Chains A and B, each alone.
Chain A
Amino acid sequence: MDEKLILIADDDRDLVTALSIRLRSAGYEVVGAYDGEETFRVAQERKPDLIILDIRMPAGGGFSSIDKLKHSLGTMKTPVIFLTAFDDDEVRDQALSLGCVGYFRKPFNETEFMEAIRKALGET
């Protein structure tokens, strides 16, 4: 069976690298993107099975990115999990209203995070 592809979009390159190591060891294929434009481009090119999306990023943050992704044929059905350091209820409510399947706050509980990924990929 092919490995599922996860796109990690975050301007914190260190975190993208660390998460890539963790997710690859859990058996996933991983690709990274570091700003909004790159996220959209990579998502269109690679058609990931899941996108882990930061909210504050240069060249288009998570909210405008999810909007673009949800309105593009190739990615409109791709599940999105927000991973952000924001803790405001307003940000959280807005994120949940935009059609994401999960919302995690940094630093996050890894067990719950991996569980959410498996669920988003239909593995549980």
Chain B
Amino acid sequence: MQLKGAIYLGDDREAALALEKALRDEGLPLAIASGDLEGMRKAAEMDIDVVIWDRDNNEPGEPIPVRQIRGVGLNRQPVVALVRQGDVGSALASLAEGASEFLFKSPIQENPAPRLIQAVDSRQRDMRLAWCSKAIEDTSGQLKAIVGTLKDPAYIVSPDYLILYMNRAAQEIFGEGLWGGVCYRVFYDREEPCGVCVSDKGPARWRSVLKNGKSYRFVSTLIRTGGGEAEKLAVGTDITLDEEVRKIHKTFISNVSHDLRTPLAAIDQYLNIMLEGQAGEMNADQKKYLEVIKRSSFRLHNLIENLIDANNILSGRFKLRMQVTGVKEILDIVLPLLRAQAREKGLALQVTVSDDLPPLYCDSMRIAQVIANVVGNSVKFTERGSVHLRAGFMPGDQARIILSVEDPGIGIPKEDLGKIFDLFYRVEQDQVYVEEGAGLGLSISRDIVRAHGGTLWAESVEGRGSAFHFTLPTRDVAAPSG
């Protein structure tokens, strides 16, 4: 660092000249002014980097007038005290009074310039620190003002669970005058810290019913207002209404699904009674029409299942009933209906299953649903030819099986290929919507496969056909041990 110049404030002419000479030898000019207010003002008008204050200016017992020096505008310049050789007491007192450094005089100590450079350095650091700490103080004040006006309850606790701050909303719920109390006792009537704070020292989330009877979702974050371990700021959001809506929604869906399924059971039973001739023999046409009713009933059933599944997926309530089962057993559930569906459109459904496939650990009804959705989709978009369903090992991976459904149908436009698994997506053809389906099947299928640890994807060339593939882990990798 190259200094531009320094100024000596004081009346010890001999010392000033000695210092001036010493600094000149080191390439640093020194100005000289009197050790009073006038001298300070003169210094303020000059372009200097250091103020050297002769401590002999002080009356006995008086400190260095640092405030005055700053007052005339000498802010960035460090004050370096000049004290008599060997007067360590004055040297230390000067530092305590705000001097950044000291030099000895009578005689002037050798090589003083580096100590002045050090003083400038130290002053700059002090100023930066002061600025930062003021900024922190300001921000902290602003933060508290913001938190204070929140309608949501917010509080700050120390690492040892003491309440340091509560905003108005928190005081309305928990009461006033609780600062300094132990958070888990005051807020949650517990004798020990809550699990979430013990297990997770970092930011956390939890739900809680508070003393006002309402449900809150809390999010906490770490803040550091001083040194040492961070404090925790927790802000709660009132989710009472959300929870009520969720409950009503769940009951509603449960009732709707119950009431939609109930008549389907009776329809199925009567269809079976008639188709098996228990209500008398029927002619071929009557039988054919009943088969159509049966398929329609199955489709209606599937649609209800898909709607409920979509709802469960959206609301995060989607559970699998896992069991060990074989691919052939799963196909037995769906193939009769899928073959009928294909036959109805004049299509063939070819099925190829490798003989050596191991058992799967899966929810067989769900996987059957995926197969029904994917094959049903292929049948829907194919006008002639045959749909081919294959099941075998994933090439090069004995831990996975792959099921593929290929069709020579209309295919999927390239720009739509990424969207077909979106909820409620339907292919639009020549501005005419395909009439069946609500755009749920593929989206749900992908979620079911994912929940099993597999992947579902599609390949297609528009006008040439499509292929859907999905993988499932085999029993050995997927089943829990024991």
Binding site for B on A (CB under 8 A): 12, 14-15, 18-19, 21-22, 25, 56, 83-89, 105-110
Q: Which of A12, A25, A86, A87 contacts B265 (CB 8 A)?
A: A12
Q: Which of B265, B272, B308 contacts A106 (CB 8 A)?
A: B265
22 chain-A/chain-B pairs, Cβ below 8 angstroms: A12-B262, A12-B263, A15-B262, A15-B266, A18-B273, A21-B278, A83-B265, A85-B259, A85-B260, A85-B265, A87-B254, A87-B257, A87-B308, A89-B319, A105-B261, A106-B261, A106-B265, A107-B267, A107-B268, A107-B301, A110-B268, A110-B272
Judge whether B254 and A108 touch: CB under 8 Å.
no
CA of A91 to CA of B174 in the docked complex: distance in angstroms?
37
Does B136 have its Cβ within 8 Å of any Cβ on chain A?
A: no
Collect the chain A residues with CB atoms within 8 Å of residue B259's CB: 85
Judge whether A18 and B269 touch: CB under 8 Å.
yes
Binding site for A on B (CB under 8 A): 254, 257-270, 272-273, 278-279, 297, 301, 308, 319, 333
Collect the chain B residues with CB atoms within 8 Å of residue A19's CB: 269
Judge whether B254 and A14 touch: CB under 8 Å.
no
Judge whether B262 and A22 touch: CB under 8 Å.
no
Residue of chain B at shortest CB distance from A109 = B333
Interface secondary structure of B, over-half rule: helix
Collect the chain B residues with CB atoms within 8 Å of residue A89's CB: 319
Collect the chain A residues with CB atoms within 8 Å of residue B267's CB: 107
CA of A15 to CA of B266 in the docked complex: distance in angstroms?
5
CA of A18 to CA of B276 in the docked complex: distance in angstroms?
13
Interface secondary structure of A, over-half rule: mixed
On whether A107 and B278 interact (CB within 8 A), knowing A22-B273, A86-B254, A89-B319, the answer reads no
CA of A38 to CA of B261 in the docked complex: distance in angstroms?
24
Judge whether A85 and B258 touch: CB under 8 Å.
yes
Counting chain B CB atoms within 10 Å of each CB, which of A14, A19, A83, A85 scores highest? A85
Q: Which of A12, A25, A83 contacts B278 (CB 8 A)?
A: A25
Collect the chain A residues with CB atoms within 8 Å of residue B273's CB: 18, 21-22
Judge whether B270 and A18 touch: CB under 8 Å.
yes
